[in-house]
Structure 1
């Protein structure tokens, strides 16, 4: 994975016409470090990778997401679980299904604590959702109401209702979600 991240950085840097020196000036990382990183000879912390992502004008997920082919896997072992998406550097999504042609999308989502209380924007979309809290306290905003959900609690609702969820605690929250992926007919 280290070599993959380094190669993605190198490809993107060259695509944008930047030299190692220009990337170094923008990120405060040495040219030597960036060179080693691009060649897969060193590792990088997520917060440092985020700095490079900002400099190259991409989301952090660009470097973490795997270029996976659509497969028809029925069973995904715990050790095969891969990060599928990182959103706002706070939500880490793991796909729990190998077959993207099915109508449900199960995911494990880890929600990191937020540094500051932020305004939560609720939104609707087609389909329906089910969520189950594994760890921590999840705050669910739905239809103008808020609910604190604890481990073992669940919710099932039409996604067409304004909704969102967040972590208002100082501990990680882990949930399983299942979204229908086909549009309502």
Structure 2
């Protein structure tokens, strides 16, 4: 990580035509320390890195961003980003890099606990839906029936059947969901 941070600092510094001495004066850190930092030979405290970020006009998080895999077919676990949060209860992560060009939509969904008093509105859409429970107990509403699915359980349904999900426990439910067709696919 120190090598990546140092490389990013050097690239930013050079793009702004700053010498090590000029950056040193702006952030009140020695030239020798900054030189070692840029070469990945030392670590930096967060407060010092924040000063460097300010001097180079970037957010602190810039130094911690992880590059995407060079292969579009591979999505590393650390590359997963939250795509959407629905009703403050459903946290959706896409499980592919190239969502616009794929036929299926694979997602990791985390469902936060809710009260069984809340009204659940079933919905329908075109295609098929596959759900595999990874953690927790999922309550599945399917065609006016209620089912509890446990880790390892799955459901594969025609999506034109009225359905929805809920979490009536006090722990997060995690599930794998795969839909077809993919609503994000480019229409040609």
Q: Is TM more than 0.5 here? A: yes
CA-to-aligned-CA distance 1:112-145 (integer Å, 9 cap, x gap) = 1115620100011001000000000000001110
Show the counterpart of 2:83: 84
User: TM-score if structure 1 supplies the norm length?
Assistant: 0.59
Is the radius of gyration larger for structure 1 or structure 2? 2
**Backbone CA RMSD of aligned residues:** 2.5
Once residues 115 and 161 of structure 2 are traced to their aligned partners in structure 1, the CA distance between those partners, rounded to angstroms, is 28
CA distance in 2: counterparts of 1:132 and 1:159, whole angstroms: 15
Count of aligned pairs between the two proteins: 118
Q: Which residue of 2 aligns with 1:135?
A: 135
List runs of 5+ in structure 2 lacking aligned partners: 1-56, 61-69, 184-188
4+ aligned runs moved over 6 Å, structure 1:
39-42
CA distance in 2, matches of 1:140, 1:72: 36
Matches within 5 A, 1:29-48: none
Structure 1, unmatched stretches of 5+, are 1-38, 43-70
Shift of 1:102: 1.1
Question: 2:172 aligns to what?
Answer: 172
TM-score in terms of structure 2 length: 0.58
Q: Secondary structure at the match of 1:97?
A: coil
* Conserved 8 A contact 2:115-2:168: no
